Chain A
């Protein structure tokens, strides 16, 4: 149940494109044709599904305040969380490179159709954003982290698929010249985002709409406040 809830939530309610604006650059640049959009979307799902759980492990056993407890009691006060950006981006860059090599070896046709998009994923903010949100929302288990990664990947995939389909059709409509291309894409994305906001009540029955609104505009509290409390809560491997 927990998994289904998180899965639906990360696809529709916290959709990466419409609620947090992650991966907008490639979303706008690669959405002119449905076929390329599908390729990039699939690659994003794949990379997110691998990197989010990997970064969850890193975060849990290396980076969190008190995460080094498994090395011995004297390491329990260490807080390496300031290193998370560099560790996460290193994981992502390595995984993207690995995925590239594997895809090239086993499916050259897929490799050719993805072309330059694969290396570009390393600098897609949706990927790093997935890991950072996983960290700041304190997702409790590796299974849930995987669900979160796959779910937000699918959400991103849906968004880019939808906008690509719309942009293919909009060619035949009479858009004001100054709005053509980028301008109208922005506005359509805005309208789609309004539509997606109505998913907000999907899991709650619309009860805490107020709380949800605040969340999309503002953000979660980082956990540095209760460092000591967390240090005690962190799991220890024996």
Chain B
């Protein structure tokens, strides 16, 4: 007996590619762009969103029959804000340096539209287990883009990955630098994040023609 039925597996795998929250649903872009100058920050952000969205979806799904529809936005905001405060405090306690790098963007998980979007579109209509899978799937799709962008920006911008010098030492001129390669500092600046995401969208839509928009 499989742990996940076919339908359940689809909940997780769908948002990874064909229904990716960032490139297809156009949600949660702010944080995806702002903190991806380093791979490590991207990973931490992805994990934080995974935790908030996974738990939040379950909580909302459990409460879905008792929330009056008129005040559901406020209820959702309170649930997310509470979870984000926990994530923020955990980050401050165990990795203060990183929480400084992420600065206000941890707080901005509250207004990350992926979270509200999944609450509205899925958790309010489905049971806790399926909501959990849906939350994990969407957060993973978000994280995937974050990690890809973070990977390229850190590799090309500072020649490191997670802080390790993978392209050699730029000062002593070893590795690739001996051949005349220079770090492209421009990759670390904000506009390049937009352009990298634009290129990811380009690649993705070239592979799957069904996703192409009119204008």
Contacts and interface: CB of A to CB of B under 8 A. Distances in A.
- Do A and B pair up? The answer is yes
Interface of A: 18-25, 28-29, 82-86, 89-90, 93, 119, 122-125, 127-129, 132-133, 136, 167, 170-171, 176-184, 186-187, 189-191, 193-194, 197, 213, 216-222, 224
A179 B201 contact: yes
B214 interface: yes
Contacts of B212: 177-178, 180-181
Contacts of B176: none
Nearest to B194: A190
Interface of B: 23, 26-31, 33-34, 37, 73-74, 77-78, 81-82, 84-85, 88-89, 92, 99-104, 107-108, 110-113, 116, 188-195, 197-198, 201-203, 205-206, 209, 212-215
Contact of B103 (A21, A177, A219): A219
A180 B191 contact: no
Nearest to A187: B198
Contact of A190 (B104, B111, B195, B205): B195
B110 A170 contact: no
Contacts of A218: 101
A122 B191 contact: no
B199 to A, nearest CB: 8
Given A179-B201, A180-B212, A220 B103 contact: yes
Contacts of A197: 189-191
Contacts of A85: 81, 84-85, 88, 107, 110
29 contacts: A18-B191, A21-B190, A22-B30, A24-B30, A82-B89, A83-B85, A86-B82, A89-B111, A90-B77, A122-B77, A123-B113, A125-B111, A128-B111, A129-B30, A132-B108, A136-B103, A178-B202, A178-B203, A178-B209, A181-B213, A186-B201, A187-B195, A187-B198, A190-B191, A193-B191, A193-B194, A217-B37, A217-B190, A219-B104
Contacts of B77: 89-90, 93, 122-123
A183 B202 contact: yes
Contacts of A129: 30, 104, 108, 111
Contact of B190 (A18, A119, A181): A18
Given A82-B89, A128-B108, A24 B37 contact: no
A171 B215 CA distance: 6
B85 A82 contact: yes
A21 B34 contact: yes
A45 B26 CA distance: 23
A179 B30 contact: no
A124 B26 CA distance: 13
Contacts of B192: 190
A179 B202 contact: yes
A19 B28 CA distance: 17
A111 B113 CA distance: 23
B191 A219 contact: no
B29 A24 contact: yes
A183 B189 contact: no
Contacts of B202: 176, 178-179, 183
Nearest to A26: B113
A24 B78 CA distance: 22
A182 B190 contact: no
A123 B201 contact: no
Contacts of B29: 21, 24-25, 28
Given A21-B33, A29-B26, A217-B190, A179 B198 contact: yes
B81 A89 contact: yes
A77 to B, nearest CB: 18
